[in-house]
Structure 1
Amino acid sequence: MHKTKQIIVIALVVVLMGVLMAQPIKGLVKRDKAEQEQQTNTSTETEAINLASVSSVAKQGLNASLVKEITDLEAALSASSGEERINLLKKLAGHWDDLAKPAPLGFSYEEIGKLESTYDNWLKAGDAFTAAYENLQDTLVAPALIEHAQQAYQKALDLNPKSLDAKTGLGTAIVNKGGAPMQGIAMLMEVVKEDPQNLKANMSLGMFSMRSRQFDKAVNRFKTVIEIQPSAEAWFYLATSYENIGLKAEAIKAFQQSKAIAADPSLSQFIDRKVDELSK
């Protein structure tokens, strides 16, 4: 499952890399009127997106027996309360987790958190929302998912103020939301100051460095990520950062490492073209 997810992420990276390079972090540059209006509409979008709406989308493409089982659970939920409702929600969350459907998984844990407000429940909700919006960055749904992620991580952090996982998730969500990016960056910097080998915080800082075109800083972050846990995604981002600061030989080596780990035909073809371009 992890390898499949990694290949999907890399494929999305290949398609969206041009868009990523063209869009600095919101708030680090002057926002135009359309972007300001988008921020204003976020709360409305958040209200419109809920467990029922994302569940309806997530069921598409599932086999009939699974759809029936989930629909029956949802029907039982509507007439439940207390401990019974919590148990049904946990069972529903288990289904969405098994199916790798992070959006309804996030909303399931959000509902669990409202009834059983624990650090673990809110952290799971935040992590699921984060996975969901990272896969939907080019859709209108993403801002609402980011908002839910931020709220979940804040609740987790309130319950466990020393949690680096909650602080990393919250900082990442704040930057992606766009209202006060430097606040989020500061939180991520606090995490890596306390834990220099924090995988998620370094990965987020690397991505944000790319988006603000600080590729030298991105290189250092992705090198740290690779030292901790090598992945096709990290090697790909490192290669792209090297390419943008003119280190062609280093970029070629990093692209080849990404290709070797991912073992994905579409990515291999893309990297072969990149290597050919960089070798000229």
Structure 2
Amino acid sequence: MKKHFIILIVLAVALTGFLYSRPKVVVKDEAKANRDKVTETKSSAKEEEHQESSQAPKLSAEQEKQINVLKQKLTGTTDKKVLYGQIAQVFAKANRFDSAAVYAEKIAIVEPTAENWMQAGDMYYQAYTLSLRQENIALYTEKTRACYQKVLEKNPRQLQAKTNLAMTYVQSDSPMQAIMMLREVITEEPNYEPALMNLGVLSMQSNQYAKAADRFKQVLRLNPANLNAQLGLGYSLIELKEKAQARTIFEDLKKKVKDPTLLEEVNKALESLK
């Protein structure tokens, strides 16, 4: 069940509307204060160097060439925002969200709009979610929170920023903060799908499968096409010994799922129900 929960945590990220990567199982260990001011200093260069040496997908030869050409162009222009965006895009397409986030943040520093800080926060959130190393988790957690806090300072009703910010507390010393923030979101917007989905995931984590099932059913009433909610409901029903209902859900999922990783998990679930 632990593995299935981790898969759901990663799948819930897809609800941010910022999914570039394939669904991926990530097992993380337990993961300081928000940085009030982010400046472009020598430390940012060190962060980029640190991130690019981390356990992340390798760039293809063509992507490395693109990055090198774009970085060379940076030295010859004072208007670097467009080039930062192009570099971030290449890294993101390569599933290198750690490095992409560095350049998205540079854009936000140059032009500190809520939208630009949101994009930087989303990139760091992806890096945080997919990170394996404890030191990287700590770094990306801090960066994610700093970016989303800047978004919320400009737009307190940016519910996606608040939802993602909440999820950075799940594996912190204050996990209840995640639940409280998500409840604040659904108090503002009772049908906010990403927050409901994440509350379902957190209910699974705490073995409250009946609550989890209710959350996923609520999501499916809002959006019957949400495969992640179907998956979560299926796993919750297994734990609730509602095997017939669970089998129906997984058989339906098997017809819809295209991604081989998810399909493998669906087949495993069906096998366990025999």
Report TM bin, short chain: 0.7 to 0.9
CA shift for structure 1 position 121:
0.9
Unaligned runs of 5+ in 1: 24-34, 41-45
Aligned AA (1:247)? E
- Alignment size in residue pairs: 246
Bigger fraction of residues in helix: 1
2:170 is equivalent to residue 175 of structure 1:
yes
Which residue of 2 is the match for residue 30 of structure 1?
Answer: none
Q: Distance in 2 between matches of 1:243 and 1:7?
A: 28
Q: Pick from 229, 242, 246: which aligns with 1:251?
A: 246
2:62 is equivalent to residue 62 of structure 1:
no
Seen in structure 2, the aligned counterparts of structure 1 residues 270 and 190 have a Cα distance that, compared at 3 Å, is: closer
Seen in structure 2, the aligned counterparts of structure 1 residues 267 and 200 have a Cα distance that, compared at 3 Å, is: closer
2:104 is equivalent to residue 91 of structure 1:
no
Q: Distance in 1 between matches of 2:88 and 2:212?
A: 35
Asked if 1 retains the 8 angstrom alpha-carbon contact of 2:84 and 2:107, the reply is yes
Q: Distance in 1 between matches of 2:202 and 2:166?
A: 11
Percent identity for Structure 1 against Structure 2: 29
Seen in structure 2, the aligned counterparts of structure 1 residues 108 and 39 have a Cα distance that, compared at 3 Å, is: closer
CA shift for structure 1 position 119:
0.4
Q: Pick from 234, 237, 240: which aligns with 2:235?
A: 240
Seen in structure 2, the aligned counterparts of structure 1 residues 266 and 131 have a Cα distance that, compared at 3 Å, is: closer
Aligned AA (1:70)? I
Q: Pick from 117, 125, 144: which aligns with 1:122?
A: 117
Task: Give deviations 1:108-156, integer Å, cap 9, x for gaps.
Answer: 11122222211001111111222222233x4333332222111111111
2:210 is equivalent to residue 216 of structure 1:
yes
Map 1:145-164 → 2, pairs under 5 A = 145-164=140-159
CA shift for structure 1 position 208:
1.3
Which residue of 2 is the match for residue 228 of structure 1?
Answer: 222
Q: Distance in 1 between matches of 2:264 and 2:165?
A: 36
Q: Distance in 2 between matches of 1:254 and 1:60?
A: 34
Q: Distance in 1 between matches of 2:117 and 2:32?
A: 24
Which residue of 2 is the match for residue 165 of structure 1?
Answer: 160
Q: Distance in 1 between matches of 2:70 and 2:115?
A: 23
Q: Pick from 266, 271, 277: which aligns with 2:272?
A: 277
When normalised by structure 2's length, the TM-score is 0.75
Asked if 1 retains the 8 angstrom alpha-carbon contact of 2:250 and 2:270, the reply is yes
Aligned AA (2:269)? K
Which residue of 1 is the match for residue 7 of structure 2?
Answer: none
Seen in structure 2, the aligned counterparts of structure 1 residues 7 and 113 have a Cα distance that, compared at 3 Å, is: closer
Q: Secondary structure at the match of 1:84?
A: coil
Aligned AA (2:243)? K
Aligned AA (1:171)? A
User: 262-271 or 144-153: which moved more?
Assistant: 262-271
CA shift for structure 1 position 189:
0.6
Q: Distance in 1 between matches of 2:45 and 2:229?
A: 34
Asked if 2 retains the 8 angstrom alpha-carbon contact of 1:73 and 1:88, the reply is yes
Q: Distance in 2 between matches of 1:47 and 1:213?
A: 40
Q: Distance in 1 between matches of 2:20 and 2:219?
A: 15
CA shift for structure 1 position 247:
1.3
2:133 is equivalent to residue 135 of structure 1:
no
2:20 is equivalent to residue 12 of structure 1:
no
When normalised by structure 1's length, the TM-score is 0.74
Deviating beyond 6 angstroms after TM superposition, the runs of 4 or more aligned structure 1 residues are 46-49
Seen in structure 2, the aligned counterparts of structure 1 residues 265 and 63 have a Cα distance that, compared at 3 Å, is: closer
